[in-house]
Every structure is written in C-alpha cells, then in structure tokens.
Structure 1
Amino acid sequence: MKTFTPKPADLTHDWYIIDATDVVLGKLATRAALLLRGKNKPTFAPNADLGDHVIIINAEKIALTGKKMDKVLYAHSGRPGGLRADSYAKLLQTNPERIIKNAVKGMMPKNRLSKVELDRLHVFAGPEHPHTPQKPQSVEIDKISQGK
C-alpha cells in the first residue's frame, strides 16, 4: 500500500465560523489552530497547505481565566525605543483581535507554512463580518463553567 500524499488538486479551503462569546481563550486558540492547519481532515500532511479559513466573531466577549487581566502583551517595532507593552485588560477594550491572534499564533508551529496558514485567520470584535458569501460552517466550543 502506498502512502497518500496530497496534491495541489486535492486542496480545498473550507470556511468555519467560531463565536467567541464566553469561550476560554486557550480552548478557542487550540481549536482555531487545529482548523487552520487542517488537522481535522483525514488527508492531513504536515508539509502540505491543507488548512481552512477561520472566522472568529465577538472577540470582545472572550473569557480570560486566572490572572490574565494583569498579563502584559509585548510587541516591538524594531526601532530604538519601540517596545510596546499593553495589558490584556486594556487590549480587551481597545483591540481584542490582537489577543486572539497572538494566542492562535502561539499554538501554531514556528515555520514558513504556519505564516501562510495564519493569513486565513479572520478575527472581528463584533458579531458582523464581511464573509457571509463564503457560507461558513459553524463550530461549537464549550462555554466557560466557572462561577461568573
């Protein structure tokens, strides 16, 4: 029996939508990374670009557990004095997309292929998104079950 190797003609990039309302950040990031890599497909190959498009809506309603509100997310512009430090509490109000993109990026492998796959991640703060013509399939993730 020969090993199956996916060809470019075998590639299909489906669209999935995830509602981030009351979903724990880590669970959301792992599920999104799994879909972006294409590990949910039976034809998965680590060297092939089999990933799907993932739309995440309601990013401002994400659930952060533990002491993540005090955690700081760093970014550097590459210029002298270009270190930027923003707390998750501030980012949740101003730019919640950055929190989710950073978490998903951390779940992806560190190679050139993951950079291409991360371009298929579309994060929106509110419930509206411009990708309705693609007819995305809904993905359900367990909500938080904490004392909130």
Structure 2
Amino acid sequence: MTISSKVIFITIISSIVLLGCTSQNTPALRKVTYPANFKYTERKDLRSDMHELAIQMGGLDKALLKPLQQSPIEVEQQRTQVLSALKNMERIATNLKSGNSGANHPFMEDYMQVFVAQIDEARVAASFEQPRYYFAGKVAGACANCHKINR
C-alpha cells in the first residue's frame, strides 16, 4: 500500500465513523455494530425513568418521616403512601431492568434485579397489620449505594 492509498483509506474510514456518529445516523449504525438481540436503552429514556424513580423516592422518604405516635387513620394513610411509592418504584425499576437480551448499561443488569427484590421485600413488610418500614428505608439506601458504586 502506498502512502497516498493509506491516506485515502484513513480518510474514508474516518468519514464513515464521523457520519455514523451523528445523531440522525446512530440508530442505523447500531444495527450494524450491535447484535440483533441487544437491547439498547436510549439515554433520554434512562434519564426519564431515573428521574421518575427519584420523584417516587422523594415521596417514600416523605412518607417515612412521619412521627412514630400516630392515630390509626394516620398510620393507614402512611401505609398507603409508602405502598403507593413502592409500587410505582417497582414498576419503574422493572422497566429499567434489562432482560436476557443485554443492554448498554451492564451495571443495571447486575443491580436492578436485586433492587426490584428489595422493593418487593419492603412492600411485603409495609403490608403487615403492624407495618414495618425498615426495608423501605433500605430501598432508599440502595439507590445511593448503587450510584456511589457506579459513578
């Protein structure tokens, strides 16, 4: 290969890479660069779901801050708020959890299954006649823990 043919080759490859990296061509490039069964999570979708999860986490934290001494009606209102937040969080986390097809956020594959299980455990404990919110508090800590590890 001569120097001029190397320059032409490099120019062509560079052009293809740059063209493929533009936002309008990215989905077409993914069809070639990722396996057919690869589940690609768009950044905007991930951020939107994570934002919604954070909103629900705020609602859970607010519900858990209620005083220990409450009337039976207040206890039931707190339980309803906690269960509602946990149900919404479970729905969002299940949506975020990658399936067997893979994802472009591999840490989510490792941690989201555990997170969904923690939410389920918290929901069960909050459903008891005498609600227990210990596991709901652990759910809040799980977000902070995962983000600390994966940043």
Same fold (TM over 0.5): no
TM class by smaller structure:
under 0.3
User: Which structure has more helix as a fraction of its residues?
Assistant: 2
Q: TM-score, normalised by structure 2?
A: 0.23
Q: TM-score, normalised by structure 1?
A: 0.23
